[in-house]
Amino acid sequence: MWTPADTVMPELFATQRNRLSITYRTNHLRLHASPQEIHVWGKSGRFSEVGNLNFFEAYAEPSVSKYLSVRIGRQALSLDNGRIFSAAPWGQQSRSHEGIRFLYKKKFETDLTIAFTRPYAKRFDPAFSPVAAHTYKYLFVHHLKHKLTNQFTLTTINALDVFRRATGDQQYYQRVTNGGRLEYSKQWFYATVNAYYQYGQNAASKKIRAYYIQPEVSANTGKTLFRLGAEILSGSNSRTPGNVSASFVPLYGVAWKFMGNMNLFTRFPADVNDKGLVNPYLFIIHQAGKKLSLRADSHLFHSQYPLLSGERAIDGTYLGFESDLSLNYKPVKAVEIIYGFSFTIADKRIELLNKVPDSGKVPVWSYLMISFAPRLWSQKW
């Protein structure tokens, strides 16, 4: 039995998600529902905890014309590479939004989403529901993807989220995010740059003046893919005016896909003490066979500006290194088995962020995920 006095204090638990996807489709209508139920086994001294049965997605999508449809109800919103908007498939509850979405696809793809939140249950919903964690009152998103030439593709995402203010004269405040991605692809080479600018107000009534930049190049040798890039999330420093926040918030995207499986940095700006983050990375993905692939991800973490120890800025910005190793095996079409192992070599500075309590020790994390997704029934009339 492990006790708090032990040198190593591991935690072992299992989560289980059961999700059923049901789709009915005609030439002019699509109905879709995805009920799900989540178990947590062995965490925090409990043998089992069950999240309430909820719907990941539940919507109707009538077609207005051959190129235009309207999706109404609870729905996932996965745009571009998932950095700003993602369905968060790796999270057991995933993420979706409630509202209406207009989708158009012909020579280019574009969609407009209008989403909202409503009162949800307080006990299970914030942890297990795909929508209850959202703090916005209203959300407006426009997305456009257009293939300019055979080599260049342009994607734009413009979002406005409206929040209810707890106190003060103004009932609501807004945050605006504008930007997109330019991609170049030719044979084995790929290059892209992703950039966003964020402005408006935050919960502390500060003006937002923040940015995000992600350049990346990749090369595919046939069996091995090399991806080299960096993420830069802006932060505030001593020269930032007191009524301004320069910290970028990556909206409703996923962090693990870009910043490592150990989830050291997921909540911005809280996880970096408002100082921004620079994340150079190298991903290597090797296809060892038809059923087996190997992956190695490496991250170097730096704060954009020096952290504070008390009132004093410490020298340097380096926070640490993370390595994520994984093995993906697909024995049959409906089964996927993933094993992962991650570790972090942290610098003393990261202790100021309360992410690693003792930088002299190496935190590790390992997981085994088994996915079984059979098609139970399909019928055409």
CA count, 13 A, side-chain hemisphere, 241: 7
Determine the pLDDT at residue 126. 56
Residue whose C-alpha is closest to residue 323's, from 286, 370, 379, 283? 283
The sign of the dihedral angle between the CA atoms of 70, 74, 80, 85 is: positive
**Calpha distance 233→223 (Å, rounded):** 32
Determine the pLDDT at residue 325. 98
Instruction: Tell me the backbone φ, ψ of residue 145, rounded to 5 degrees.
Output: -135, 125
248 is written with which tokens? 């970028």
**Calpha distance 42→47 (Å, rounded):** 5
**Calpha distance 200→227 (Å, rounded):** 34
Residue whose C-alpha is closest to residue 313's, from 203, 238, 210, 211? 238
Residue whose C-alpha is closest to residue 259's, from 236, 283, 237? 283
Determine the pLDDT at residue 364. 93
Q: What are the residue ranges in the chain where pLDDT is below 50? A: 1-6
**Calpha distance 184→78 (Å, rounded):** 21
Q: What is the pTM of this model?
A: 0.90
The CATH code that applies to domain 185-381 is 2.40.160.100
**Calpha distance 241→237 (Å, rounded):** 9
Task: Give DSSP secondary structure letters for 280-345.
Answer: EEEEEEEE-SSSEEEEEEEEEEEESSPPEETTEEPS--EEEEEEEEEEEE-SSTTEEEEEEEEEEE
Other beta carbons less than 10 A from residue 241's beta carbon: 11
Determine the pLDDT at residue 132. 72
Query: Per-domain residue ranges for the chain?
Result: 1-147, 185-381
Residue whose C-alpha is closest to residue 197's, from 145, 243, 234? 234
Cis peptide before 269 (omega within 30 of 0): yes
